[in-house]
Structure 1
């Protein structure tokens, strides 16, 4: 009776625990993006347009710095920003910071899937979040300790990029373990809005301090993600399985990462009860060899599509505030606040992509449709954004929806569908590996986009938008190959 009572309680609590995991993983990964956003906000402060009001700016800076006891007064306050980013080649240097983070992230993502499938998700994710908090705050310490060595900031970015790869495979595996394929596109479209929510919060937090003490723009997000890492350790529930329903455990009992165990319920003796034997078994999962047929199910094609889609998205992520500063002639704080509208549009775009793909039951068709609309929208954005602030607001919302929609769909619903395909024969580890392969390849594009933007932008912002339109067209061509080519997976 005790065991049956426990079983019934699991059935009753199904929706409640799913909602809990949905909310918790949402907040966990939002904190990852929250910690990535400050660099794009602070760029406008690291390099300022030289002005005649230099002496006033220096006096106000010294007055504020004097209030912070451990802070050393800068020995060389540049008229054009923070050394070494105050030179004419500042765009290349800022691009190098982006490339350092994203290149390390892309390389680390391939390793993260392999490592993550062999370690408890809760421990793996917790360590990654604590390390991310440390290295995010480390960049901001350069302000407080008056560090002007470029390699210090590059190494902080590289280290942060490596440890942040622990996040995505872990949360996607966890959410995929708890939610089946029914309405997966819509559910994950809503869930994936954590990227935009994290970007918005990160922009607002970083913008609050950027003009007065930009070091806190990194330290505070670092503290937040570290605190969320502790929350992850205490409350994350990694998977469900109880004869087809959910099995949960607290931080002290039951499931511990990838540990496998079998709970054998008492067997009633038929001689004593004159009833048939009754046996209840609880299996968490069984290991299977990783199937090499994985790559025939569309993983490579969707990975390449994500490469180009993420190139566009991350170029906006890292360069949009600086673009707004140059075009609209706003200060770093106002530009950072305005850039959040792109992520607001991304929230609606991700939800819309998931809803349409569920209705049509065709993921590739949905991606192709949104990519087709995104290319002319980017051209319109480059032209209309110069006409005034109101036009910029409208185009930020539309562009955010069309750019982030396909990106969100591939990284969530498509990855989960591929990772739980029947050809994998129930391999629970495959989802983490598939997610890492797809997002790792996409991260290569994420690294190239900001780097190319840094190299091309000195010749004019229009050329940056032409580069983004070419990337969008390439993503469209890959999605068409999936749609009309040899795709054997029912995502087309």
Structure 2
């Protein structure tokens, strides 16, 4: 017997649209305060004389803080709720990004970019948590496939905008690269304002009934099964799945951040491209990912019955093959 889904009211649909747009723009906006250092890395080196190791160490502070921030953001999200947590994270990120445009001390930069990493960690968990409260489980494959374009669009638009800023000649003092940080902070500040007005954690926060998932026969059979509860309330199977997903994500991030944070620098230093041109060329990585988020969401709902692991495995195999091809053939030319 199939489950009956209650139809949504007009108010539900209106608020779902607002929440979708607000959270989508939030994660796009976060990229404008995440991307400036990578976009301007070659220009920063030209002015400061810092070697690649120094630049790498500064960005490593961001990555370490971002990883630690995932745990902190999860706890803060429980205490504060997604809305306050994300608003606080965006505000901290704006402040750190502005400050980075005003200094040239590598230790201070490492500290600021580290705090920025902690702040940036609020974005994904907080916004995904918000979306879960507004959409039924059976919708989430398609909806989150569309919603997850935010990180691709964020990476694309931030690279294009910041590359354009680097191409401007009007900014003699301070240096053009500083305006990457100022421009990024201004974009996220505008996003912060719309988020404040249009995001709500749950339908109940605006006086609407909760969006509950109906219980199906499959769900009932699962509920009836005895569950072995282990460490931290998770079963052995849950822990195995957790570590498998964590391991996949850990190694996938090696590839993503190697390309994402160094492609522009590599293109400037090895192919004599301008900073603006290199930022545009580097977006090929994000352009390839844009159809990927649609395809994975559609495949998981259409052929995998909302089971995401099979699709993730297929994509991981494809990523591995593409990375191997990049290593073998990627240095032969820009194209």
Sort the Cα spacing of 1:296 and 1:337 in 2 relative to 1 into closer, same or farther, 3 A.
same
Q: Following superposition of structure 1 onto structure 2, how do residues 98-117 of structure 1 map, counting pairs within 5 Å?
A: 98-117=59-78
Q: Name the CA distance, whole Å, in 2 between partners of 1:328 and 1:382.
A: 17
Task: Indicate the structure (1 or 2) with the bigger Cα radius of gyration.
Answer: 1
> What is the CA–CA distance in structure 2 between the aligned matches of 1:118 and 1:294, rounded to whole Å?
25
> How many residues align structurally?
301
Deviations 1:319-378 (A, max 9, x none): 111122234321211000111121111111121122112223232221222222222222
Q: Which residue of 2 aligns with 1:27?
A: 25
Paired residue secondary structure (1:141): coil
TM score, norm. by length of structure 2: 0.82
Partner of 2:228: none
* Stretch moving more, 128-137 or 15-24: 15-24
> In 2, are the aligned partners of 1:44 and 1:331 still within 8 Å (CA)?
no
Greater RCO structure (CA 8 Å; 6+ sep): 2
CA distance 1:112–1:294, change in 2 (3 Å): farther
Separation in 2, partners of 1:367, 1:113? 23
Distance in 1, Cα, partners of 2:153 & 2:267: 20
Answering whether residue 323 of structure 2 is matched by residue 382 of structure 1, we say: no
1:160 corresponds to which residue? 116
Match of 2:277 in 1: 334
RMSD over aligned Cα, in angstroms?
2.5
1:100 deviates by 0.5
Aligned partner of 2:264 in structure 1 is: 321
2:73–2:85 CA contact under 8 A, matched in 1: no
The answer as to 2:176 corresponding to 1:220 is no
Cα distance, 1:176–1:204 mapped onto 2, change above 3 Å? same
| 121-130 or 192-201, which deviates more | 121-130
1:304–1:379 Cα change, 3 Å: closer
Identify the structure with the greater helix proportion. 2
Q: Structure 2 vs 1, CA of residues 192 and 223 (structure 1 numbering), >3 Å: closer, same or farther?
A: same
* 2:220 corresponds to: none
- Residue-by-residue CA offset, 1:166-185 (whole Å, 9 max, x unaligned): 21111010011111221422
Q: Which residue of 2 aligns with 1:296?
A: 237
CA contact (8 A) 1:38 1:217 kept: yes
1:169 to 108, 122, 125: 125
Quote how far apart the aligned CAs of 1:200 are. 1.2
- Which of 337, 361, 369 aligns to 2:314? It is 369
CA distances 1:228-251 after superposition (whole Å, capped 9, x unpaired): 2222222212112xxxxxx462xx
Deviating above 6 A after TM superposition, structure 1's stretches of 4 or more consecutive aligned residues are 282-285
The CA distance in 2 between the partners of 1:122 and 1:377, in whole Å, is: 38
The alpha-carbon distance between structure 1 residues 9 and 341, as it changes in their structure 2 partners (threshold 3 A), is same
Picking from 92, 113, 119, the partner of 2:80 is 119
CA distance in 2, matches of 1:295, 1:41: 43
- Counterparts of 1:97-246 in structure 2, within 5 Å, are 97-142=58-103, 147=104, 149-211=105-167, 212=169, 213-240=176-203
- Measure the CA separation in 2 of the matches of 1:16 and 1:233: 16
TM-score w.r.t. length of structure 1: 0.57
Which consecutive residues of structure 2, in runs of 5 or more, have no partner in the other structure? 1-5, 170-175, 213-230
